[in-house]
């Protein structure tokens, strides 16, 4: 997003404005690109005019160009064309709306959360996520019931960024959404709530049908920091996907789960070097003397990164 600076000659702004009136659409389109290069706030009114050009390719270019600027005037210009009859223009406007970072723009964005087009609703929630204004919380919770999964994903993002404990029941409900993308977003968002309820919701997600959700759940448990979910993490070491097993290893170490030592030690012999390394790192974090002998047997691992981690883990145990 461009930070407005005093205009410095990239060419005369008036000359660029004159080219915007050319009968040749290609000239007008290039003039739009030149406006972006000026990085000047004075370009915004000209782009706002170009976004209404008779030629779709110019309107699309202007909509994309406005994504490089910020502020209420930019938001209003883009809102004016999100219903453009040319799909590419409307999508470009929505994409640029999603890039707005001026909190004052939230006032003109919020009414669009009920826009008929799902891609516009999704773009608005995406922008509101970054703006982090409390007024977006209610609409975001309502957005969790949207018919479009893309909108629900972005609504979850708003809730996750605002980090309000009172939204936890809504997020937990979203972890059971019929869309895997929504479930993934909701599980990731759980991490802000460092409490038992969030930990148990993440533990339940370790049984999700999609491995990406299960991997995110293992990560969320570690971030939430509640050892009560450690049993579910240990069980997920038997997951059929190595990515889930890896996240479980990493977060058992993060939580320093001593009860996990016996389940982690066999991973020192795993065929994947990354899992051997993560197992050694987890044992080093846990620093339980019971793992010393197993680690010692692996100081000659064929992978140098694994060897280094094994030695580090033994040092951690020695400091205990």
Same domain, 238 and 319: yes
Write down which residue in 113, 144, 175 finishes a domain: 144
Looking at the domain assignment, is residue 17 inside a domain? yes
CB atoms within 10 A of CB 219: 21
pTM: 0.87
Same domain, 133 and 210: no
Same domain, 7 and 126: yes
Same domain, 5 and 99: yes
Same domain, 114 and 223: no
Looking at the domain assignment, is residue 247 inside a domain? yes
Alpha carbons 51 and 58: distance in angstroms, whole number: 7
pLDDT of residue 5: 40
Q: The CATH number of the domain where 289 resides is what?
A: 1.25.10.10
Looking at the domain assignment, is residue 317 inside a domain? yes
Q: Count of alpha carbons within 13 Å of 261, Cβ hemisphere only?
A: 17
Same domain, 245 and 119: no
CB atoms within 10 A of CB 167: 22
Number of domains forming the structure of the chain:
2
Same domain, 59 and 128: yes
Same domain, 2 and 124: yes
Place of tokens 């919020």: 110
Same domain, 249 and 114: no
Q: Where are the alpha helices (DSSP H) in the chain?
A: 13-19, 25-38, 43-50, 56-66, 72-79, 87-97, 106-109, 118-131, 137-143, 149-162, 168-174, 180-189, 196-205, 211-224, 230-235, 242-254, 261-264, 273-286, 292-296, 304-319
Closest Cα to residue 229, out of 196, 191, 253, 259? Answer: 196
Alpha carbons 170 and 166: distance in angstroms, whole number: 8
Show the tokens assigned to 181: 């993308």
Same domain, 13 and 140: yes
User: Please, are residues 101 and 130 in contact by the beta-carbon 8 Å criterion?
Assistant: yes
Write down which residue in 116, 144, 172 finishes a domain: 144
Same domain, 132 and 229: no
Looking at the domain assignment, is residue 112 inside a domain? yes
Per-residue pLDDT of the chain (320 residues; tens, 9 = 90+): 443 343 344 458 889 999 999 999 999 999 999 998 888 888 999 999 999 999 999 999 999 999 999 999 999 999 999 999 999 999 999 999 999 999 999 999 999 999 999 999 999 999 999 999 999 999 999 999 999 999 999 999 999 999 999 999 999 999 999 999 999 999 999 999 989 999 999 999 999 999 999 999 999 999 999 989 999 999 999 999 999 999 999 999 999 999 999 999 999 999 999 999 999 999 999 999 999 999 999 999 999 999 999 999 999 999 86
CB atoms within 10 A of CB 68: 17
Same domain, 214 and 319: yes
CB atoms within 10 A of CB 148: 15
Looking at the domain assignment, is residue 196 inside a domain? no
Alpha carbons 237 and 97: distance in angstroms, whole number: 42
Sort 4 into a burial class: Cβ within 10 Å, 0-12 / 13-18 / 19+.
Answer: middle
The dihedral built from the CA positions of residue 107, 111, 113 and 115, taken in this order, carries a sign that is: negative
User: Please, are residues 183 and 176 in contact by the beta-carbon 8 Å criterion?
Assistant: yes
Looking at the domain assignment, is residue 191 inside a domain? no
Alpha carbons 179 and 184: distance in angstroms, whole number: 9
Show the tokens assigned to 273: 């070097």
Write down which residue in 129, 144, 159 finishes a domain: 144
Alpha carbons 168 and 192: distance in angstroms, whole number: 10
Alpha carbons 316 and 295: distance in angstroms, whole number: 12
Which distant-in-sequence residues (6+ apart) come within 8 Å of 286 by Cβ?
Answer: 252, 253, 256, 257, 258, 260, 261, 264
pLDDT of residue 320: 67
Alpha carbons 120 and 63: distance in angstroms, whole number: 14
Range of the domain at 207: 203-320
Show the tokens assigned to 122: 């999704």
Looking at the domain assignment, is residue 302 inside a domain? yes
Looking at the domain assignment, is residue 190 inside a domain? no
């Amino acid at each position: 997003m461009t930070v407005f600076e005093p205009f410095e000659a990239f060419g005369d702004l008036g000359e660029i404005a004159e080219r915007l009136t050319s009968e040749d659409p290609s000239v007008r389109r290039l003039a739009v690109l030149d406006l972006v290069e000026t990085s000047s706030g004075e370009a915004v009114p000209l782009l706002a005019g170009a976004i209404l050009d008779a030629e779709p390719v110019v309107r699309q270019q202007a909509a994309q160009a406005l994504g490089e600027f910020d502020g209420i005037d930019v938001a209003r210009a883009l809102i004016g064309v999100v219903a453009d009859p040319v799909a590419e223009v409307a999508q470009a406007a929505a994409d640029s709306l999603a890039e707005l970072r001026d909190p004052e723009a939230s006032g003109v964005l919020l009414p669009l959360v009920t826009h008929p087009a799902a891609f516009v609703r999704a773009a608005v929630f995406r922008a509101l996520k970054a703006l982090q204004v409390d007024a977006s919380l209610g609409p975001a919770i309502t957005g969790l019931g949207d018919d479009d999964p893309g909108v629900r994903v972005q609504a979850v993002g708003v809730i996750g960024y605002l980090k309000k404990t009172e939204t936890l029941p809504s997020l937990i409900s979203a972890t059971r959404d019929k869309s895997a993308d929504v479930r993934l977003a909701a599980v990731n968002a759980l991490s802000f709530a460092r409490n038992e309820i969030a930990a148990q919701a993440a533990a339940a997600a370790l049984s999700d049908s999609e491995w990406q959700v299960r991997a995110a759940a293992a990560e969320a448990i570690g971030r939430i920091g509640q050892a009560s979910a450690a049993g579910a993490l240990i069980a997920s070491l038997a997951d059929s996907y190595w990515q889930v097993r890896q996240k479980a290893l990493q977060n058992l170490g993060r939580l320093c789960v001593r009860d996990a030592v016996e389940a982690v030690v066999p991973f020192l012999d795993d065929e994947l070097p990354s899992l051997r390394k993560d197992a050694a790192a987890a044992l080093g974090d846990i620093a339980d003397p019971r793992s010393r002998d197993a680690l010692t047997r692996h100081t000659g691992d064929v992978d140098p990164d694994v060897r280094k981690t094994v030695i580090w883990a033994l040092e951690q145990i020695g400091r205990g």
